[in-house]
Each structure stands twice: as C-alpha cells, then as structure tokens.
C-alpha cells in the first residue's frame, strides 16, 4: 500500500520480518500518526494480535506465521508456542491456519524465516488475485459500501474488500465508497478511510446506523471481508456486518465477501459453530480513556457477528467469485 512516511509517499506493508524481529504498523495509532513497532519474542507478537496492534484475518495469519518463526529461531517449545499464539484471537481462522501451516513446514525441516516469508507473500498474491476478479464488478459511477477494514492493513498488503477497489482505481475507474465508522473500535473511520485517502479513492465516512438509509438512496453493491467462513457459506465478520446484509437483502443490493481460501474453515459445518470473541466493555463505555456511559451501566461487546449464507451474493477469492453453494470446489 502507499502511505506518507516522513513526508514521502512510499510502499509499505502492514507487517514484515526484519533482523530477527517482527515489525508492524501500530494500527491503534492511525490515522493520527504512523508508528512502527518491533518485537523479538513470540509472546509479545501474540499480545500485539490480542490487543489489536495488528488486526484483520490475513494480517493476523501472517503475523502468527512470523511469531512461529520467532519461537523456532529462539529455540522455544513449539507446541506451547502454537497454543499460546492461537489463543490470541479465537474467531480469526487465518490465525489457526497459519500456525498449523508453519508447524507442518517446520516439521519437514524448512527454514523458519523462509517459511514465514513464503506464507506472508502468498497472502499478498492471493489478495492481488481477489482484486483482479473483484474489479470486474466495478464500473464507472458506481456507489459501493464497506464495513470495518479489509484493506492492506488487514492483509499485509493490498487488501481483500479493498483489493477490487484498488485494482479498479488503478485501471482508471471512477467510483464512490461509503465507509461505515465501525463502532466501537472505529476501524472503518480510522483505517479504511485512511487507506482510501492514501490511494485517492473518493469516499465518505457514515455512522453505522446510517447504512440502511444510504442503501435506500442507491448503492450498487456492498463488499466486506471475513474472519471465518464455514463450509455452508455462513461467515463471521466485524459486528454490524449482519445488519448490513439484512438491509441489503431488503433493498435488493448484491452483497459480496472478499476473502482468501485460507479464511474458509471447511471442517466447520455452519456459522453456529463459530466462536465469537467477547471484548472488554471499556471499548464501548469509554472513548480515549474517558467514560461516556452512565456510571453503573454495563455494556456488551461482541467483536463479530455471523451472517447466514443466504444473504451472500458471492465470495470473491483468489480462485474466482464463488456462490455459497460452490464452496465445496475448494476441497479439490
């Protein structure tokens, strides 16, 4: 992705490996400032996943691969490391996929750094293919809507939901994007809007509750990412996604999900089996450390919801655009 670094526009990734350290953008600091942090212990990397220094399913997967690399080169117990890293974010399937992929690679005697880099680079290449297939859906003058952040920050580089937008923009198409703020962590407002702004893509931030209103005014299609997709097409994504899918169905608006094949959990029968992460109520009750809720009022804070497959028009993957009933082809 492109970003202004010390006043100079540069290509930068969300996470990478450098000098026996995992290096990443601290996404909690965006958009106010671009902060780079470094970790040399896999437990610190796992904590960075847990506290959302880095986030987004594919980026979490790559970060987990790098964490496994650190554990290996530092001579740690790999079974304990794998369990510890997996505990960081229970809903993101890419996290589990990456840890298991690295464990298998290391068991074959592969070099830890080369294996982790291969995993991260493969993630980026998959996103570019998602962009290629998804861009075919975008015509000049279209109005799109997205939720949370499924851009380069969430995927090492390029994005999933934002990948088709990047590809279409690079091809010269002119379109507009509604970006929902994504309470309570504001990933849409702070991260997606920042990425679209860096790319020069026209957009407006809207309150989460305004999504249905703008759909009623005319939206061509909605595109989001996903954190885990069950074999029947039910999928988990940031809380508020289900609401948008219901409204889109009402207005007859196509609803697409952009995700690499690594996000599909083909051993999970339906979304009912997906574990939903419950985060601290402080994320709801406070802003910048200042309590905004009445004293004594408690809050509930599920990080994700599950959208049923019958509300999904198609999944944009590196293998093409699949209907929910075509997911089985990925078993081949």
CB 215 within 8 A of CB 248: yes
Count the neighbouring beta carbons within 10 Å of the beta carbon of residue 37: 16
Residue 131 lies in a domain: no
Among residues 90, 125, 160, the one where a domain terminates is 125
For 220, other C-beta atoms within 10 Å of its C-beta total 16
Residues 149 and 117 in one domain: no
Of 157, 227, 265, 305, which one is the catalytic site residue?
Answer: 227
Residues 197 and 116 in one domain: no
Whether 305 maps to a domain, the answer reads yes
What's 148's domain CATH number?
3.40.50.10470
Helix 112-135 to helix 93-107 angle, to the nearest 10 degrees?
Answer: 140
From its phi and psi, is residue 56 left (phi > 0), alpha (psi between -120 and 50) or beta? Answer: left
144 in a structural domain: yes
Structure tokens given for 286: 């406070």
Contacts of 288 (CB under 8 A, 6+ apart): none
Strands 15-18 and 221-224: unpaired
Whether 204 maps to a domain, the answer reads yes
Residue with tokens 């369990």: 83
Length of the chain: 332
Is the residue at 220 inside a domain?
yes
**36 with 175, same domain?**
no
Confidence (pLDDT) at 265: 94
Q: Based on the fold, state whether residues 245 and 290 are members of the same structural domain.
A: yes
How many structural domains compose the chain? 2
249 in the same domain as 278: yes
pLDDT of residue 90: 87
Within this chain, do residues 233 and 261 fall inside the same structural domain, yes or no?
A: yes
In this structure, the answer to whether residues 63 and 210 fall within a common structural domain is: no
Q: Which of 104, 125, 146 is the last residue of a domain?
A: 125
Same domain, 18 and 164: no
Task: Indicate whether 302 and 197 sit together in one domain.
Answer: yes
Whether 41 and 175 map to the same domain: the answer is no
The reply to whether 227 belongs to the active site is: yes
Residue 215 lies in a domain: yes
Over residues 287-327, the pLDDT tens digits come to 989 999 999 999 999 999 999 999 999 999 999 999 999 99
Query: Domain of 71: which CATH number?
Result: 1.20.120.420
Residue linked to tokens 């554990």: 71
- Residue 92: its pLDDT value, please? 83
- At 134, give phi and psi (nearest 5°): -70, -30
List of the chain residues with pLDDT < 50: none
Query: For residue 273, is it within any domain?
Result: yes
Last residue of one domain, picked from the residues 92, 125, 158: 125
Helix intervals (H) in the chain: 42-50, 57-73, 78-86, 93-107, 112-135, 152-155, 163-170, 187, 193-199, 211-218, 241-251, 282-285
- Rounded Cα gap, residues 14 and 289, in angstroms: 26
> What is the pairing mode between strands 228-230 and 176-180?
unpaired
Pick from 235, 250, 253, 244: nearest CA to 315: 235
Burial class (CB in 10 A: 0-12, 13-18, 19+), 280: exposed
Residue 130 lies in a domain: no
Token look-up 């859906």 returns 137
Query: Which residues are paired to 258 by β-bridges?
Result: 316
What is this structure's pTM? 0.91
Same domain for 90 and 148, yes or no, is no
Structural domain containing residue 140: 136-331
Helix, strand or coil, per DSSP, at residue 293: coil
DSSP character at residue 174 = -
Task: At 187, list the tokens.
Answer: 């990933």
Secondary structure of 196-225 as H, E, C letters: HHHHCCCEEEECHHHHHHHHHHHCCEEEEC
Cα 118 to Cα 100, 111, 112, 217: the distances in Å are 14, 11, 10, 44
- Shared domain check, 110 and 13: yes
């Amino acid at each position: 992705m492109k970003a202004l670094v010390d006043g100079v526009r540069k290509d930068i990734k969300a996470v990478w490996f450098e000098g026996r350290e995992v290096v990443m953008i601290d996404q909690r600091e965006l958009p106010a400032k671009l902060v780079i942090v470094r970790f040399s212990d896999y437990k610190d990397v796992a904590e960075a996943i847990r506290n959302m220094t880095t986030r987004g399913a594919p980026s979490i997967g790559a970060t987990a691969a790098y964490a496994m690399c650190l554990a290996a080169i530092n001579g740690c117990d790999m079974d304990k490391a794998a369990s510890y890293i997996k505990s960081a974010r229970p809903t993101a399937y890419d996290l589990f996929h990456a840890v298991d992929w690295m464990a298998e690679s290391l068991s074959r005697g592969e070099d830890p750094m080369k294996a982790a880099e291969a995993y991260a680079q493969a993630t980026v290449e998959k996103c570019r293919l998602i962009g290629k297939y998804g861009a075919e859906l975008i015509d000049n003058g279209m109005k799109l809507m997205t939720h949370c952040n499924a851009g380069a920050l969430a995927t090492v580089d390029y994005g999933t939901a934002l990948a088709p937008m990047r590809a279409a923009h690079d091809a010269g198409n002119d379109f507009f994007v509604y970006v929902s703020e994504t309470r309570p962590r504001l990933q849409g407002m702070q991260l997606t809007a920042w990425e679209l702004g860096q790319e020069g893509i026209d957009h407006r931030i809207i309150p989460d509750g305004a999504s249905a209103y703008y759909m009623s005014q005319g939206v061509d299609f909605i595109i989001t990412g996903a954190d885990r997709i069950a074999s029947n097409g039910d999928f988990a994504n940031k809380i508020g996604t289900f609401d948008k899918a219901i409204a889109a169905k009402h207005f007859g608006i196509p609803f697409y999900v952009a995700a690499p094949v690594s996000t599909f959990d083909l051993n999970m029968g339906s979304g009912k089996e997906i574990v939903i992460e419950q985060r601290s109520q402080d994320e709801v009750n406070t802003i910048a450390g200042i309590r905004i809720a009445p004293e004594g009022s408690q809050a509930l804070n599920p990080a994700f919801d599950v959208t049923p497959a019958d509300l999904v028009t198609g999944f944009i993957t590196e293998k093409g655009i699949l209907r929910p009933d075509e997911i089985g082809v990925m078993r081949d």
